[in-house]
């Protein structure tokens, strides 16, 4: 049985950063080629990760079972809910980019994906997850109950390995 919303409670930070790197590559390819198919693939990947975690995401599978082991990156466990929130933000950006490109708004499409490239690059290269950062504030402000993620109360920016 496939359960919607089956995102893991914990995530391997190195796999998440690898997925972010793959998102950068696909996003840049989409910006350059203006391919609706590539933007659709990007949207699908974010949607799959939000709804099911890594189960149906080609990038997550490649990162978890291919790139991370191949590079010997190991495992650094972090809380899952902030990463899921970040993936949801990716759904919004990639979905918006898809609609903009579909309606021929090329500059707006490139701008939206450019922002996605910026934040995915920060995640991939520096280990700074902007969605996770915002998620921490949403908990502090009471917009997200602390019970959603007990491990998330002290999310801070830190440059990781």
Q: Determine what percent of the chain is predicted with pLDDT higher than 90.
A: 68
pLDDT at residue 155 greater than cutoff 80: no
Per-residue pLDDT, averaged over 49-60, amounts to 90
Q: How far apart are CA 144 and CA 136, in angstroms?
A: 9
Residue 9 vs residue 69, higher pLDDT: 69
Domain assignments of the chain as residue spans, ordered by start: 10-157
Residue located via tokens 């972090």: 78
pLDDT at residue 123 greater than cutoff 90: yes
Residue 161 vs residue 143, higher pLDDT: 143
Mean pLDDT for the chain? 89
Per-residue pLDDT band for 1 (boundaries 50, 70, 90) equals very low
Q: Which residues contact 11 (CB under 8 A, 6 or more apart)?
A: 77, 78, 79, 80, 83
- Report the range of poorest mean pLDDT among 4-8, 72-76, 84-88: 4-8
Q: How far apart are CA 154 and CA 88, in angstroms?
A: 21
Given a contact cutoff of 8 angstroms between Cβ atoms, the answer to whether 52 and 4 are in contact is yes
């Amino acid at each position: 049985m496939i359960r919607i919303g089956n995102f893991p409670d914990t995530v391997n930070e190195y796999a998440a950063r690898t997925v972010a790197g793959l998102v950068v590559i696909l996003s840049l390819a989409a910006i350059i080629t203006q391919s609706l198919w590539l933007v659709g693939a990007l949207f699908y990947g974010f949607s799959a990760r939000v709804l099911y975690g890594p189960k149906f995401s080609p990038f997550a599978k490649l990162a978890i079972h291919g790139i991370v082991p191949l590079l010997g990156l190991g495992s650094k466990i972090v809380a899952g809910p902030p990463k899921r929130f970040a993936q949801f933000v990716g759904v919004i950006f990639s979905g918006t980019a898809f609609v903009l490109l579909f309606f021929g708004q090329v500059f707006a499409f490139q701008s939206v994906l450019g922002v996605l490239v910026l934040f995915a690059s920060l995640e991939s290269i520096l280990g700074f997850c902007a969605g996770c950062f915002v998620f921490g504030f949403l908990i502090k402000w009471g917009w997200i109950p602390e019970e959603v993620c007990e491990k998330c109360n002290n999310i801070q920016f830190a440059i990781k390995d």
